[in-house]
């Protein structure tokens, strides 16, 4: 039972990462500035952050969710 739940969360996390990467790549293709690409739910401070070019890449400890913050978004 616990292994099933862990595998489900792992697969869900991979799907969220792929989904958010789609937002990221389409925004880049259309010339929209991406301020942050975050993996995880940003309720707590990030575990890891790295600025590369104009984009801040962040990894948060709660792995359910992700986001892409575009320029001009509140």
Whether residue 53 contacts residue 35, with contact meaning beta carbons closer than 8 Å, is answered with: no
Could you give the CA distance from residue 27 to residue 54 in angstroms, rounded to a whole number? 13
Catalytic residue from among 20, 35, 54, 73: 20
The answer to whether 20 is a known catalytic residue is yes
Q: What is the dihedral of CA 50, 18, 74, 52, to 10 degrees?
A: 20
- Could you give the residue numbers annotated as active site? 20
């Amino acid at each position: 039972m616990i292994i099933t739940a862990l595998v489900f969360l792992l697969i869900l996390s991979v799907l969220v990462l792929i989904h958010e990467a789609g937002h990221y790549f389409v925004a880049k293709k259309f010339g929209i500035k991406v301020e942050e690409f975050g993996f995880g739910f940003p309720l707590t401070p990030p575990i890891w952050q790295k600025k590369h070019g104009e984009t801040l890449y962040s990894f948060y400890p709660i792995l359910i969710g992700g986001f892409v913050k575009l320029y001009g978004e509140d």
